[in-house]
Structure 1
Amino acid sequence: MNLDRSPSAWFCVHQSPPWSFTAFNDFPRSSRLRVAACTRLVSTPESGSSRAEKRDFLRDPQLYGEKIQAMFVWDFKPAAEASLLSSLPSLKVVANGGVGIDHLDVPYISSLGVKVTNTPNVVDEATADIAMALLLASARKVVEGHQIATDPKTTHIMQCPMGEEVSGATLGIVGMGNIGYKIAQRSKGFDMRILYHNRSRRSVEDEQAVGASYCQKIDDLLKQSDFVVLAVNLTPETTGLISQRELSLMRSTATLVNISRGLVVEQDALVTALRSGKIRAAALDVTHPEPLPRDHPLLGLPNVLITPHVGTNTYTTTRKMMRRWYKMLWLQ
C-alpha cells in the first residue's frame, strides 16, 4: 500500500498556496483557519462558515475540480470514493486526520497516483488519555455518581454505587504500539500489573521501563486481566478479534475498554456477555456504526459507558494535526 509517512515523500507545493478540499463540520474554528491560512480551501455545504470556506465545491465542481491538489479527511469526511476522486484530476494527496486509515481504499487511491498520509504519533497522548479516562470512569462509576449527585430527586447520598479498585489491578493491553505503550506508562502510575499482547514483542528495555510482561497468546492475557484495553489498528486480522470465544475467557469481574475500532469487537457477542454477567462492564470510545442506532441494546445496558469517538479531540492534538497537515503540503 502507498501509505507515505516520510517527510521527504510528502507532497510539496513550491509557489502559490495549493487548492485543497475538505468537509470540516464540527471542527475547531481555529484549526479550520490554520488550514485556510496556508491553502485555498474549498469545502462542502456542511462545513464551517469561515471566510475561506465559502467556496462550495459541490455546487460548482467544474470550477474547482481541476485546481484541487489536496483533500483533507476529518472525522471520516469527505468519503474518498471513486465518484468524488474522479472529479479531482489534479489531486496529489489525501491527508487523513488521525492514524487509522481503514475507511480509505488505499490501494485504489494509490492506483490514481495519489499519496495517502495520516498523522501518526501526534494523537498518541490524547488517545492514551481517553483509554485511562474510560477505564477509571467505568471502574469507579463516575457517570452513575454524577447522575445521583445532580438528580433533583436526590435528598441524601447513599453508599453506592460501589466501584472497582484500579490501583494494583491487572491490565491487559492488546496492541502495544505507540498508543498502547503510552497507556502502559500511565498505568504504571497506578501500580497496575501490566500484560500485553502484540504481533511482535517490545524490547526488554521497553518492558522493564513500564513493568510489562509479554503474552504471546491473547488467551493468556484475557484470562488474567481485570481490565482489557484494545489498542490495535483495524485490519482483516483484527476484525472480530474479540468474539464470543474471547469474551468467555475473560474474568466475570473484568472490564473491556475499546479505543481502536468498533469492528474489532463482535458487538452482539459483547451484548450477550454484558447481559449475562460474563464480564462486568465495557467502556467504548468506538462502536460500529457510529453513532449506534438509538434502539441498539448497548445503549440501554447499565454496565456500558460509551463516548462518541473522541479519543483525539483535544485542542492541543488538533493543533498538532494541523501542523502535520501543513508539512504534508509545504515541507521541502
Structure 2
Amino acid sequence: MSRDRLSVVVTRRLPEAVETRLSELFDVRLREDDAQMTREELVEAVKTADVLVPTITDQIDAGLIARAGERLKLIANYGAGVDHIDVSTARQRGVLVCNTPGVLTDDTADMTMALILAVTRRIPEGLAVMQKGDWAGWAPTAFLGGRISGRRLGILGMGRIGQAVARRAAAFGMQVHYHNRKRVHPDTEEALEATYWESLDQMVARMDVISINCPSTPSTFHLMNARRLKLMKPSAVIVNTSRGEVIDENALTRMLRAGEIAGAGLDVYEHGTNINPRLRAQNNVVLLPHMGSATLEGRIEMGEKVIINIKTFEDGHRPPDQVLPSML
C-alpha cells in the first residue's frame, strides 16, 4: 500500500460495508476477530498509526496517549460518547478527537420505549413461560401489567435522545416531564408538550416512569443515588439507555428486591459486563446487553461519519464532529 495514505487502526470489527470503504481510502489495519484490543495492542496502535478508530470498549486514557508516537494526530471515535477518551490530554498532545453524534438518536429512543413497554407489560415473564413450555392457557388475571397511556414520564436529560423519547412517549399517550441542565427552548417545550422541572428531586417523586437519557459526566455520576431512588413511588419504574454509572446500581438492586420500586429496564450497567447477580435474578427487571444503538443502519451511518471525519482531517480541514474539552 502507498505510504502517502493515512495509517488507520480500527480496534473492533465494524460492518463489512464500513471496513471495505475504509480499506479503499486509507492504509487501514482491521481486526480479524471481534475481541477487544489488549492494552499492549492499543499501545502499539497509538505508537504507529496516524489515526486511531476506537470504540467505547477501549480506554484511551492519559497514560495511553502519553505513549503515542509522533504520527498519531487523530482519534476518530466510533460512537457518540467520549467519556472513555481523555480529550484534554489528547488536545495537549496535539491529537484531535472526533465522534459520531446524532446517528443513533432514533434507535436509542426506540429501545427506551421498548424497555418501558417490556417492564410495564411484563413481556420477559411471558417469554420465559412460553420458552419453558409452561403456559396453561389464557386467564383473566394472568400476567397483569399496566397501561402506559396516561402515565407520567420523567426524562432525565433532554438532548437529542431525550426529545426523541418524548415524541414517542406522547404518541403512546404518556404525559411528558423533564429535568435538564438547561431548560430547552420554549418552542421545543411547546412542541413536545413537556413540563420542565428545575428540581430533579421533585420530579422523581411524582413520576410513574423515569427514563435516563443524560450523558456520563462527573456531575451525572450516581445522579440517581440511593437517596433519590427512595423518592420514587413504589409503583414507578426506571429505564436506562444512557450510561450505567448514572444510577447507583447496588442501591437500585436493594430497592427492587425490597419492592420499593416496581421495576427497571436496563441496557447499560455501572460496572460493564460485571452485573450484580442479585439484579439478574429479579423478575421485575429487564436486562439487555447494550443493544440500544444496535441497528445495522445505525452502525453503517456511524462508520460513514468516522470516514468523513478522517477524510476531512486528511484534506487539512477541521473534522466536522471534532470534540473539544470545553464541550464536555
Query: TM-score, normalization: structure 2?
Result: 0.86
DSSP-derived class of the 1:313 partner: coil
Residue 39 of structure 1: aligned partner: 26
Q: 1 CA distance for matches of 2:56 and 2:41?
A: 19
Match of 1:194 among 159, 163, 176: 176
- For residues 97-246 of structure 1, the aligned pairs below 5 Å read 97-158=78-139, 159-246=141-228
Query: Which residue of the partner structure matches residue 10 of structure 2?
Result: 22
Q: Deviations over 1:153-194 (max 9, x none)?
A: 334344421111111111000000111011101111011111
Indicate whether 1:276 and 2:264 are aligned. Answer: no
Correspondence 1:286 to 2:268: yes
Deviation per residue, 1:266-303 (Å, 9 max, x gap): 1111011111111100101100222124x621111111
1:309: how far off? 1.2
Q: 1:316 aligns with which of 276, 279, 297?
A: 297
For 2:199 and 2:225, locate their aligned partners in 1 and report how far apart those are by CA, in whole Å: 15
Stretches of structure 1 lacking an aligned partner (at least 5 in a row): 1-14, 49-56
Residue equivalent to 2:326: none
- Contact 2:43–2:68 (Cα < 8 Å) also in 1: no
Aligned counterparts of 1:43 and 1:18: Cα–Cα separation in 2? 14
Q: How much does 1:96 deviate?
A: 1.5
Amino acid of the residue matched to residue 260 of structure 1?
A: S
2:209–2:238 contact (8 Å) kept in structure 1: yes
CA shift, 1:33, in A, is 2.4
Higher mean displacement: 229-238 or 92-101? 92-101
1:253 aligns with 235
Determine helix, strand or coil for the equivalent of 2:257.
Answer: helix
**Residue 51 of structure 1 aligns with which residue?**
none
What do you get for the CA RMSD once the two structures are aligned?
2.4
SS of equivalent residue, structure 1 residue 126: helix
1:262 equivalent to 2:248? Answer: no
**What is the alpha-carbon distance in structure 1 between the residues aligned to residue 144 and residue 187 of structure 2?**
38
SS at match of 2:201: helix
* TM-aligned CA distance change 1:46 to 1:109, over 3 Å: farther
Residue number in structure 2 paired with 1:8 = none
Native 8 Å contact 1:256 1:283 kept in 2: yes
1:47 positional shift: 4.2
Counterpart AA for 1:39: F
C-alpha displacement of 1:316:
1.1
| C-alpha distance in structure 2 between counterparts of 1:117 and 1:320, whole Å | 15
Identity of aligned residues (%): 29
CA distance in 2, matches of 1:65, 1:215: 45
Distance in 2 of aligned mates of 1:197 and 1:267: 21
Provide the residue aligned with 1:86 in structure 2.
67
Shift of 1:210: 1.3
Q: How many residues align?
A: 306
Q: Which amino acid aligns with 2:7?
A: W
TM-score by length of 1: 0.85
1:80 shift after superposition: 5.3
**Structure 2 unaligned runs (5+)?**
316-328
Change (3 A) 1:58 1:274: closer
What is the rounded CA distance, in whole Å, between the counterparts of 1:299 and 1:81 in structure 2?
A: 34
Please state how far the C-alpha of 1:34 moved relative to its aligned partner: 3.0
- Look up the equivalent residue of 1:180 and give its one-letter code: G
The amino acid of 2:261's aligned partner reads I
Instruction: Give the structure 1 partner of residue 53 of structure 2.
Output: 72
